Amino acid sequence: MPLLVRDYSWDQAEGQVFVTVPLKGVRAGKADIFCAEDYLKVNFPPFLFEVVLYASIDESKSSAKVGNGVVIFTLCKKESGMWEQLATVEVNKEKLQRKRESAIRANQEKTQEAEKEKAIKKRENEKYSLEKMMRIEEDNRRQIEDLKEQERRRATEELEQWKLQKQEEEERKRKEDLRIARQKVESEKRRKMRKEENKIQNSASRTANKHSVKGGTTGNIFTENSKEKIIPAPRSAGNIQIHFTPRVFPTALRESLVPEEEEWLRKQAEARRANNASIPDLNDLKEEEKNPDWLKDKGNKLFASGDYLAAVNAYNLGIQLNNKLPVLYLNRAASHLKLRNLHKAIEDSSKALDLLTPAVPDNANSRLKAHVRRGAAFCELELYVEGLQDYEAALKIDPSNKTIQADAEKIRQVIQGTPPDP
């Protein structure tokens, strides 16, 4: 049977009431203190203090302090004014019990309402944090893509500069070879001219010797030469090699504008290289490598052996030969998932879904795989909302698939901020 405390004291001001309740040996954390709108209770076994207040108070602004064997209440009045007494007139036990139960129920309802508001606020904060993190991830991903694009452009520019330098070096070498060839031709011409001159001189010398023998004196040689005109001997038969300057344009070299023509040829070569850069030379492929189905089977075997990069190369060649087969994009998406090329996996899955139209029962399994692989790539990028949409689309195709149901439920728990079951 608890001991009711009667020797309490109280004081008041216009807006506050101060109640002092002596409890021998009371300590903070040991006393059960309850405060409602018009009810006050302190339970510290074997002591019990409870009172039905004269008027209503604001329990949210009221407080209690425990120490030195007393409990001191500071109660804020809802309406300013002086109370005639602290407690209402004497009430019987039944009325006091009803008042106590009513105060406890009201306090429980307020506590439940506060917990609900706290839970709602917690979910809103978690949702805001998740959206904030998703935006940050998106910004980081965009920055990484920009850096990759800048690096790719820089590498392309360096490659183009290297190609231009190689072309300039080849052009200089070609001109140097042409100059050397011309010098050789000119040297050969001069050599043949000297040979012909030597023949003429030898023939003239033989004629002079004949005249010298017939006349008997050397003085007659000059006399005969001055009187008779010396006719040179006929030229010996032979072939003259003629080398023409290689020309692309039909005009003669002396009639053309060489710098403008070379610039036009360089641009045409660059355009052809740009168009043919991504097209493999089919003449270099074996006969079976020209079959997309053979390349698909080859990629599947490489994927099964764990060589995902080689599998991607096989699928790439198959797509270049036939870009209308959705199974090639679907299998390449699986390889990109293994290689952590998540954006490429999303692109290939989307391309496969575009080709798998219209949606018919025959392509249901392929559409299911495309949605699951794209959803998995989204979740790896922490884009859980987009990933859940793909998993739900897969469940519409196969509602009884337990594995997809379990994965979709885990994604929902992540989005809601609750940790998934292990």
- Sequence spans of domains, the chain: 3-90, 122-214, 244-277, 284-416
How would DSSP label each residue in 219-252? HHHHHHHHHSPPPPPPPPP------PPP-SSSS-
Q: Please determine, for residue 283, whether its predicted confidence score (pLDDT) is greater than 60.
A: no
pLDDT digits (tens, 9 = 90+) for 355-370: 998 888 899 999 999 9
Query: 317-356, pLDDT tens digit by residue?
Result: 999 888 999 999 999 999 999 999 999 999 999 999 999 9
Q: Which residues contact 398 (CB under 8 A, 6 or more apart)?
A: 364, 368, 404
The larger pLDDT score, comparing residue 29 to residue 197, is at 197
Average pLDDT, the chain: 80
Average pLDDT (55-59) is 80
| Greatest mean pLDDT range, 87-101, 136-150, 187-201, 281-295 | 136-150
pLDDT at 42: 80
324 DSSP assignment: T
Residue 254 is predicted with a pLDDT of 57
For 12: left if phi > 0, alpha if psi spans -120 to 50, otherwise beta; the answer is: beta
Residue 285: per-residue pLDDT: 64
Q: What percent of the chain has pLDDT over 70?
A: 79
Is residue 272 scored above 80 in pLDDT?
Answer: no
Average pLDDT of the residues in 6-11? 82
| Domains 3-90 and 284-416 agree in fold | no
- Asked if residue 222 has pLDDT above 60, the reply is no
CATH class for domain 284-416?
A: mainly alpha
Q: What is the pTM of this model?
A: 0.37
Is 80 exceeded by the pLDDT of residue 68? no
CA distance 226 to 197: 21
Q: Is the pLDDT of residue 214 over 60?
A: no
Rounded Cα gap, residues 332 and 316, in angstroms: 8
Give the per-residue pLDDT at 386: 92
Q: In which band, very low, low, confident or very high, does the pLDDT at 212 lie, cut at 50, 70 and 90?
A: very low
Is 129's pLDDT higher than 50? yes
Res. 97: pLDDT tops 80: no
- Comparing 142 with 25, which gets the higher pLDDT? 142
Q: Which of the four CATH numbers 2.60.40.790, 3.40.50.1820, 3.30.460.10, 1.20.1090.10 does domain 3-90 have?
A: 2.60.40.790
Instruction: Give the residue with greater pLDDT, 348 vs 422.
Output: 348
Quote the pLDDT of residue 253: 58
What is the band of 219 on the pLDDT scale with cuts at 50, 70, 90? very low
User: Which pLDDT value is given to residue 218?
Assistant: 42
pLDDT at residue 211 tops 60: no
Give every strand in the sheet of 47-52, ordered side by side.
3-4, 47-52, 39-44, 32-35
- pLDDT at residue number 391: 94
Greater confidence (120 vs 237) lies with: 120
Give residue 49's pLDDT.
80
Note whether 326 and 373 are within 8 A (CB): no
